[in-house]
């Protein structure tokens, strides 16, 4: 009888086990679904929805005890370059590492989230003084600035961080932190800024300027100014650097540091760069019969260098305007060199094959090293103004300038000193081996008509 009862119970136990297993699987599935709904699938960090929910709860708790909450909004600098040069898999690996490093600097009650792309946010609870969250921002920046190994390649990356502290609505805090982050990028990247109320007005002005910029080309508001590059011993101009200016209808003359970053972010830099190159080449060719065979220097941005059609466009403009390739020097800043990928290196080499010359602009202000000078086929090195200032009054400053000049000459690279402001500076630079200069001692950047008059006068130094 006992055996019969056991036989009858077996199917029941089996059915119960099956139902329990199904229920457990359903629970696990529900848990996984919930996790996926509130976490970033790549890094495993909280996503925006979970972050905003936790921010709302933290705000309520902080309000009850008289504290504040803090939000850090971080955006990686130059992440697109990593994706473009190393591929999306490498970019994903880098994002995972960034998430891990940010998580390593927060407290147990804080939340790190990835909002998508290369945007991260940190929620800091129980903030009593803004300096507390500023310290965390510094720790976060320090953690990110260590070299990252991605697929066997060393990658250097920084972030711009915006900070907002208070008891505002969650979306307002996020917006304020975002505004502060853009302020940090505008101040040079790799840094943090704390939100201040004037940033709203700054953003409004920036958006208005971006809208005006889209219409500026059609309305012929861009002009070129030219600054002579001279042989210092004779003060004779050997070339000119073309510098774009924006004649805004209400704001007057706007310098490029205000609108070039906007043009880069909006994609307008490509059309703007073509216009500058075309206009400058035309001008120098027009001046040739009157003022001789001048060289022409034109700046190119990182966005232009990443453009696959750059070499073809340069070749077409040279052919159309009749400017010989060896008279054109394209200037690239050190910060752009840091972003150079294998495809960009090929582009630089293709420009050299075209006959164009290359220059390192503002040498010494970025991440300069012998490695970059050896790696790329540069013809010119432009010493940044901070290394020219004081050479006539300080032996140590003169020794630094001499070291840069000797380094360049050792690599068979010619040197131009930027920002020369006096006869005494020019004299010292000449004594330590720098043959060419550029700066207000010779001439400020001038409109085309005025630079023509300067050239006609025989390039007199002031």
Of the pLDDT bands very low, low, confident and very high (cuts 50, 70, 90), residue 316 is very high
Task: Return the HEC string of 90-126.
Answer: HHHHHHHHHHHHHHCCCCCCCEEEEEECCEEEEEEEE
Domains within the chain, CATH numbers bracketed: 48-204 (3.30.70.270), 216-456 (3.20.20.450)
Residue 37 pLDDT greater than 50, yes or no: yes
Among residues 15, 125, 115, which one has the least CA distance to residue 73? 115
Of the pLDDT bands very low, low, confident and very high (cuts 50, 70, 90), residue 319 is very high
Contact 246, 222 (CB under 8 A): yes
Determine what percent of the chain is predicted with pLDDT higher than 70.
Answer: 87
Q: Who's near 353: CB < 8 A, 6+ residues apart?
A: none
- What confidence score (pLDDT) does residue 303 get? 82
Q: What strands lie across the sheet with 158-166, from one edge to the other?
A: 111-116, 119-127, 68-77, 158-166, 192-194
Residue 349: C-alpha distances to residues 326, 346, 368, 425 (Å): 14, 5, 20, 35
Contact 72, 137 (CB under 8 A): yes
Could you tell me which residue, 412 or 302, shows the higher pLDDT?
Answer: 412
* Furthest C-alpha separation in the chain: 124
Residue range 374-396: mean pLDDT, rounded: 88
- What confidence score (pLDDT) does residue 462 get? 44
- What confidence score (pLDDT) does residue 130 get? 76
Beta bridge partners of 437: 230, 417
Of the pLDDT bands very low, low, confident and very high (cuts 50, 70, 90), residue 177 is very high
Residue 404: C-alpha distances to residues 329, 381, 400, 414, 428 (Å): 20, 9, 6, 11, 14
Please indicate, yes or no, whether the overall pTM of this predicted structure exceeds 0.85: no
The DSSP string of 24-53 is HHHHHHHHHHHHHHHB-TTT--B-HHHHHH
Determine what percent of the chain is predicted with pLDDT higher than 90.
Answer: 53
Give backbone dihedrals phi and psi of 110, rounded to 5 degrees, phi first: -90, 160
- CA torsion angle for 366, 368, 373, 379 (degrees, to 10)? 40
Residue 221: C-alpha distances to residues 212, 248, 250, 267, 276 (Å): 10, 7, 11, 18, 13
DSSP 325: G
pLDDT in tens, 443-457: 999 999 999 889 888
Q: In this structure, what token pair is assigned to residue 217?
A: 């080309």
Classify strands 328-333 and 295-299 as parallel, antiparallel or unpaired: parallel
Q: Who's near 189: CB < 8 A, 6+ residues apart?
A: 77, 158, 160
Give backbone dihedrals phi and psi of 295, rounded to 5 degrees, phi first: -85, 160
DSSP 327: G
Integer Cα distance of 162 and 194 in angstroms: 6
Residue 336 pLDDT greater than 80, yes or no: no
Integer Cα distance of 70 and 205 in angstroms: 26
pLDDT in tens, 91-127: 899 999 999 999 999 999 999 999 989 999 999 998 8
Q: Look over the chain and give the mean of its residue pLDDT values, rounded to a whole number.
A: 86
Integer Cα distance of 178 and 264 in angstroms: 19
Q: Who's near 458: CB < 8 A, 6+ residues apart?
A: 236
Integer Cα distance of 242 and 34 in angstroms: 58
pLDDT in tens, 293-309: 999 999 998 888 888 89
């Amino acid at each position: 009888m006992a055996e019969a009862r056991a036989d009858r119970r077996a199917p029941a136990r089996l059915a119960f086990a099956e139902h329990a297993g199904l229920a457990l699987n359903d629970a696990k599935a529900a848990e996984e679904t919930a996790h996926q709904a509130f976490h970033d699938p790549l890094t495993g960090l909280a996503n925006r929805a979970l972050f905003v929910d936790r921010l709302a709860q933290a705000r309520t708790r902080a309000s009850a005890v008289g504290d504040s909450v803090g939000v850090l909004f971080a955006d990686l600098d130059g992440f697109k370059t990593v994706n473009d040069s190393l591929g999306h898999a490498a970019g994903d690996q880098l994002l995972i590492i960034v998430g891990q490093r940010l998580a390593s600097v927060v407290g147990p009650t804080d939340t790190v989230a990835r909002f998508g792309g290369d945007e991260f946010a940190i929620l800091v609870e129980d903030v009593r003084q803004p300096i507390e969250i500023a310290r965390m921002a510094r720790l976060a920046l320090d953690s990110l600035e260590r070299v990252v190994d991605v697929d066997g390649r060393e990658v250097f990356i920084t972030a711009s961080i915006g900070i907002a502290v208070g008891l505002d609505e969650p979306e307002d805090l996020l917006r304020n932190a975002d505004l502060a982050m853009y302020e940090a990028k505008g101040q040079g990247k790799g840094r943090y800024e704390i939100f201040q109320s004037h940033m709203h007005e700054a953003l409004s002005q920036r958006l208005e300027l971006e809208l005006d910029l889209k219409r500026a080309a059609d309305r012929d508001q861009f002009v070129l100014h030219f600054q002579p590059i001279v042989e210092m011993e004779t003060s004779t101009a050997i070339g000119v650097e073309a510098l774009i200016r924006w004649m805004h209808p209400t704001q007057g003359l706007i310098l490029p540091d205000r609108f070039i970053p906007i043009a880069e972010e909006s994609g307008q830099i490509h059309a703007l760069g073509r216009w500058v190159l075309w206009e400058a080449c035309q001008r120098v060719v027009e001046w040739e019969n009157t003022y001789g065979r001048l060289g022409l220097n034109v700046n190119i941005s990182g966005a232009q260098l990443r453009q696959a059609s750059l070499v073809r466009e340069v070749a077409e403009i040279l052919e159309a305007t009749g400017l010989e390739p060896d008279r054109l020097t394209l200037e690239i800043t050190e910060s752009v060199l840091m972003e150079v990928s294998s495809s960009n290196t090929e582009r630089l080499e293709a420009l050299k094959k075209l006959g164009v010359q290359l220059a390192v602009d503002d040498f010494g202000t970025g991440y300069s090293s012998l490695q970059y000078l050896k790696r790329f086929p540069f013809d010119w090195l432009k010493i940044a103004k901070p290394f020219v200032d004081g050479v006539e009054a300080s032996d140590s400053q003169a020794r630094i300038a001499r070291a840069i000049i000797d380094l360049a000459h050792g690599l068979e690279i010619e040197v131009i000193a930027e920002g020369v402001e006096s006869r005494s500076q020019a004299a010292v630079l000449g004594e330590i081996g720098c043959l060419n200069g550029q700066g207000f001692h010779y001439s400020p950047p001038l409109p085309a008509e005025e630079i023509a008059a300067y050239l006609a006068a025989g390039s007199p130094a002031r």
